[in-house]
Structures are given as C-alpha cells and as structure tokens.
Amino acid sequence: MRLDDSRESDNVEDGRGAGVGGIRGIHLGLFGTVLVIGVGYFLGISPSAMLGLLSGGGETTQSATPVTGTADANDPQVVFVRKILASTEDVWGAYFQSMGKTYTPPKLYLFTDQVASACGMASAAAGPFYCPGDRKVYIDLSFYQQLATQFGAPGQFAQAYVIAHEVGHHVQNLLGITDTAERQESGAGRIGANHVSVEVELQADCFAGVWAQRANQAAKILEPGDLEQGLTAASSVGDDTLQKREQGTVVPDSFTHGTSAQRVRWFKRGYDGGKVEDCDTFNAGASL
Ligand SMILES: [Zn+2]
C-alpha cells in the first residue's frame, strides 16, 4: 500500500499492556454475550474462548507476541493502524455527508490478550471485533501475525481489510442496521440467528470493499497485488475454510460469517461498485 502522505487518526487508543484491571464491576449480561459471539468477532472461530471468559473460567488465552509498554508514537504498526483508520474516517465522512448524514467515527482500541468492552470480556483468541455498545473497534495486533502465518494472508492490505471490516460494523451501527439485525436474531432461533449473522458479516465485508474503492479513488493507496491480498484475507476467514481446518468437517447451519467464496464475493462487490446500495445482503436471497 502507498500510505506515505496519509493522515493519521487521533481516534486510536492504546491499551496494550494495560491489563484488565477494574473489570469486576462490568455487567456481563446476555446481551453482551450474544453480541460478542454473534456480531462482534472477526473470525468464525473459538466462541468458547469468549464464553470461557464470560463465565469466568475455561480457557486461558495468550496472544502469540504480547506487546508491552504504553503508546509509542513511532511504532510502525500503530502508525499504520492510525493511517487506515484515518482513511476510513475520510471516506465514510464524505460518503455520509453525501447522504445528508453525519459520520461519527469509532474509536479503535489496541489491547493485548483480553479486554473488557461494553459488550463484555473478549479474548484475543476470538480475533478483532466491534462493540456497538461503546462504538469501538478492538484489535490485538498479534492477530496480524496470525493472519499472515496461520491464515496465509500476509500484507498491509490484508491488515487494512480487517480494520475496514470492523469499521463496516460501525457504519451498520450508525445506519441502524445493527439494531434491526439484533431484533431479527433474537426471534429467529439458533439457525435463523446464524443466517442473520452471516448477512451482517457479509455486509461488513462489502462495506470494507466500498471503503477500499473510495480510498483508492481519493488517494491512490493501492499498489499492484494489494487487492488480491484483501481477497485472500477475506477468503482465509470464511466459515467453511476455518471449520475444515479446525474440525475437518463443514456444518453450514453453524456458519456465522459466510463461506470463503461469499466473503470474497461481497468484498469484491463493494469494491467494484463503491456503493452502500450494492451491499444489501439482507435482500440478496439466493445470491447471498
Ligand atoms: Zn464482523
């Protein structure tokens, strides 16, 4: 990616190495549980890692490479995150303005190992997530290492896609889509709720594509091979791919984020058209 002259966002909060002190008073209600597991996490893996934390026991979670210390303004990874977040602010800010709406950017909170969000406790093992309750994107940067090595999706644009996907959930929140989807999920039974979750997630992928197209149009940030990196990343976190790798079989009814092919397709659809209207996963029917 070409980000040399890109602006850096002020909305990145660095909680790395801060631990999870002071979390005992947090309310870990069912809402948080449903949210973190159904909407929040980026990957379709290990919800038990979150449940373990929510129920106060179970799994131990360790990030691969814990980052210690406080904010380092020159940490290249943090600078990168600030630049990508700033780009999403610029793109969505202008887009919302063109729709006669106001875009309030999310905060992006960097953490290590585990974090207490308004949606409950979350472990780094469950991947990056967005919490509608506090309007924050949460990322443990060690996920990028995992994305490159375990999931086979290296590169800056793969990393940018992760942020853009979570910001996509924020856009859904601002547009009222998150509320509607939660209502649908709560009355739909497990399989129905999973289906709604897939629609929500694929739309966030599509919104990530919308960002990529508009950001590139405005600032020519993409270099040859970048788009392919993003598509590889989208593919690598498909439910079928993850399930095949983790349990050897695929259970479509349990999908919450969509197949690899679907995630690639919706990301690309957003990228090709650059329009929110192209991302109506909820009425896509058989072409979801
Ligand atoms: Zn998501």
Do 20 and 115 touch, CB atoms closer than 8 A? yes
Q: What single letter denotes the amino acid at residue 114?
A: Q
CA of 32 to the centre of ligand 1 (A): 15
pLDDT digits (tens, 9 = 90+) for 207-238: 999 999 999 999 999 999 999 999 999 999 99
Query: What is the value of pTM for the model shown?
Result: 0.85
Eight-state DSSP code of residue 285: G
d(CA 270, CA 236): 18
Question: Residue 121: enclosing H or E segment and its boundaries?
Answer: strand 120-123
pLDDT of 126 reads 79
pLDDT of 20 reads 61
pLDDT of 68 reads 44
pLDDT of 123 reads 85
Residue in 102, 108, 133, 105 with CA at minimum distance from that of residue 119: 133
Question: Residue 114: enclosing H or E segment and its boundaries?
Answer: strand 114-117
CA of 169 to the centre of ligand 1 (A): 7
pLDDT of 104 reads 98
Q: Is the dihedral of CA 43, 48, 49, 52 positive or negative?
A: positive
CA of 129 to the centre of ligand 1 (A): 7
CA of 39 to the centre of ligand 1 (A): 6
CA of 12 to the centre of ligand 1 (A): 19
CA of 218 to the centre of ligand 1 (A): 25
**Low-confidence residues of the chain: pLDDT under 70:** 19-72
